[in-house]
Amino acid sequence: MISTNVFKTTENTSSLPDITSSLHENTSSHPESTPMDQPLNQPLDQPLLELKRITHRYHQADSVITALDTVNLELLPHEIVCIMGPSGGGKTTLLNICGFLLQPDHGKVVVNGKVPDSSSSHRARLRNQVFGYIRQDYAVIDHDKVWQNVAIPLEYRAKPLYGRKAKALCSQALAKVNLAGKENVRVAQLSGGQKQRVAIARCLVNEPSIILADEPTAALDHENAHEIITLLRDWAHDPSQRHGLILATHDPRILPYCDRIFSLQDGTLTQESATHLQA
Amino acid sequence: MRQLFHEIRNGITLVTRHFVQIITIMLLMGLVCFSIGMNLSTVTDKAIALKQSQELRAHDPVYFSAYYDNSVPKTQDQSAIHILSTELAKGSAVSYVNTNIELSNKDFANRHHVLIVMGKKTNLAVFGIPNPQSTKPRAYLGADLPEKSIDLPIAGYHLTASQHLPSHASFFSPHGFGESLAHHVVIVLPPSALSRMDEQEKTRALFNTIFLMKEPSHISDDDLSLFLHSCYSWGMSLVPQNLSVSLPEQFRKVVALTISYVVPSLALLILVFFLFFSLGKTLVREELTELRIRYFFGATLGSLSIRVITFLLLSLVVPAVLPSALLAYQAQQQFAIPGIIILTFTLVVFLVCTLTTMRTIKRSIS
């Protein structure tokens, strides 16, 4: 439980034309602010995550590249949303904005119906409590043990967990990804598929409501890719939880598992039909 | 607060992954500190000697180069000793015996190098000893000698050296140029002691004589001629040399020597600093993945910077500064200057590495 108020309701900000300034104006002292770790109290049809008119540009020496141009997106509970598009098309930027790793130039990100405070410490708390991240390169620390990798999110909780308590939680998370008993193995000794499962266990250990996966199967063979996407699908479709998954991928093997598929090209996000893409 | 300690503890844990790099940094910095310390010390001694030689040059000095002739029977005519004693007493000559062994007593001066100086103008040969113009018999210990006192029975005197010379004390010889007295035992003897020295010491004193020709009471031509002739009976032909003539050549030699010391030192310094900077960047690069992961999962840039600062302080600054600190502790001033250079550079690299790491984490996400 976070002691400070992190969110404010969307109704209070949606009418403001300049979203960036509204983020700064809306501080944690708002009377309607509520703690963020109460997603189960939300209505069932309340989106887990909403991107509203997100625009983000990269400024280079002589030019400005628009990575995202007035992008809108909703992630509903139990939903798997897939973002497809060419390399450099802005998929990772979109995920980074979703996950509060990057602040958009314009627009707002709404989590469980509320606009979070824009301070860096609150964004860090959000990254820790609401989101989990999976990346193509596994993003694991090879020379550490499996459980030490999985325990990282626990160290940044409001009440951090270290040592034996953390290891116990890591064991539970590792069991969920079929890596029980591998706690003390060095990550360097694992295969690519196992490393990706360590990354998933690291996401699950802190019980996030949203997982952002950037090309999670790109470096995996068919069997491992199937295993990973099945794990993620089961997690997202767990009826007892309000979970959602956003995937950025090139991998057509993933498409049958997705509920909605978007194409991101030249900064514009367009919804596609799954059959159209598979064809 | 708990988070702060956690980040510091984890910063320390990161250090344990990089023992090879840390040992490499320690060796590199130890090498560069030792090398520059030694070279700087030599160059400083030469520079002090050069300054001294300028003072000596003002007295229009004549010194001798010797050719030894073993075919001549050594009758050891005492006229040379008498003339030298007289000139030393008048203040128109300086002589010294520079030796590392006493034939009759091998443990003399605890086997340290010994410099015996004689004459009223010893200040022209040695720099840094107290009351240089006094001929009173006394002895001093070099700045880096560990002994508290050494008993020195010599030429009928029983001297005790208990006072240490300052670390910049040095000795000028027209034959060898500058030399530090940090590891010498220095003995000042009156001219009358010359006659009580042994044969070896007398021979060296004759050869190492410097006559000061600008003094009003300088040695006459007849006496000089007699001195040279008498020295022949000691088995050596002395050839007079004018220091004023040979000094510019010696100056050029010193400049060349200085360059030969300074240039490789500078090259080594630049090379080591380049390696050090590369090692610093490698250390940071190896940890970037973990730092990024931690940022994804809730670390703030503030908490990461504590971790990075702890890590870089222990893996860069401490191993870089420790060898020079130890060397400076052992030999003080000699390694103080390279120590300061290394400390300054290390702090610059530390700052650059810390700032670039934090900037890289931020950039890699945005």
The pTM of the full predicted model, rounded to 2 decimals, is: 0.68
CB-CB contact of B92 with B227 (8 Å): no
Can you list the pairs that A135-139 forms with residues at least 24 positions away whose Cβ atoms lie under 8 Å? A135/A199, A135/A213, A135/A214, A135/A215, A135/A216, A136/A214, A136/A215, A136/A216, A136/A218, A136/A219, A137/A219, A138/A192, A138/A195, A138/A196, A138/A198, A138/A199, A138/A219, A139/A199, A139/B289, A139/B292, A139/B293, A139/B296
Residues B123 and B230 in one domain: yes
pLDDT of residue A34: 38
| Gap from B303 CA to chain A (nearest CA, Å) | 10
Q: What percent of chain B has pLDDT over 70?
A: 96
- Residue B339 placed within a domain: yes
Domain hosting B83: range is 73-234
Last residue of a domain, one of B189, B206, B234: B234
A277, containing H or E segment: helix A274-278
Distance of CA B157 to the CA centre of its chain: 30
Asked if B230 and B257 sit in the same domain, the reply is: no
- pLDDT, position B365: 63
State whether residue A243 sits within 8 Å of chain B by CB: no
Q: What's the average model confidence in pLDDT over A107-130?
A: 88
Task: With CB atoms and an 8 Å threshold, state whether A124 touches B300.
Answer: yes
Encode pLDDT of A207-239 as tens digits.
899 999 998 888 778 888 888 888 889 999 988
The CATH class for the domain spanning A49-271 reads alpha beta
Angle, helices B301-312 vs B333-365, to 10°: value is 150
Between B343 and A32, name the one with better pLDDT. Answer: B343
A-contacting residues of B 296-315, CB under 8 Å? Answer: 296-303
pLDDT tens, position by position, B316-327? 899 988 888 888
pLDDT at residue A150, rounded to an integer: 94
Same domain, B230 and B272: no
In terms of domains, do B204 and B121 share one? yes
Q: Summarize the confidence of residues B66-73 as an average pLDDT.
A: 79
Mean pLDDT of chain B: 85
Last residue of a domain, one of B184, B204, B234: B234
User: Is B297 close to A133, i.e. CB distance below 8 A?
Assistant: yes
**Contacting A residues, span 138-167, partner chain B, CB-CB under 8 Å:** 139-141, 143-144, 152-153, 155-157, 160, 162
Q: Is B8 on the interface with A (CB under 8 A)?
A: no
Q: What integer pLDDT is reported at residue B73 of this predicted model?
A: 74
**Mean pLDDT of the region A62-90:** 89
- Domain total of chain B: 2
- Give domain limits for chain A: 49-271
Q: Is residue B50, in this structure, part of any structural domain at all?
A: no
pLDDT of residue B214: 84
- Tell me which of B244 and B185 has the higher pLDDT: B185
User: B42 versus B12: which is more confidently predicted?
Assistant: B12
Cβ-defined contact of B298 to A102 (cutoff 8 Å): no
pLDDT tens digits along B113-159: 999 999 888 777 788 888 877 888 999 999 888 899 999 988 889 99
Report the pLDDT averaged over residues B25-32.
88
Q: Are residues B32 and B86 in the same domain?
A: no
User: What is the layout of strands, in order, in the sheet containing B61-68?
Assistant: B163-164, B138-141, B184-189, B113-118, B93-99, B210-212, B61-68, B236-242
* B170 shares a domain with B299: no
Q: Give CA separation, B360 vs A82, A125, B281, B348, in Å.
A: 29, 21, 12, 18
Establish whether this prediction's ipTM goes over 0.90: no
Query: Looking at beta carbons, which residues of chain B come within 8 Å of A121?
Result: 300
- Interval B208-242: pLDDT, tens: 999 988 888 888 888 988 999 898 888 888 899 88
- pLDDT (tens digit per residue) in A10-53: 333 333 333 233 333 333 333 333 344 444 455 567 889 999 99
Q: Is residue B205 assigned to a domain?
A: yes
Distance from CA of B293 to the nearest CA of A (A): 7
> Nearest 5°: phi and psi at B147?
-65, 150
Same domain for B119 and B227, yes or no, is: yes
Whether residue B94 is predicted with pLDDT greater than 60 in this model: the reply is yes
Q: How far is B299 from chain A (nearest CA, A)?
A: 6
Report yes or no on B341 lying in a domain. Answer: yes
Instruction: Give the pLDDT confidence score for residue A22 in this predicted structure.
Output: 33
Let me know whether B308 and B163 are in one domain.
Answer: no
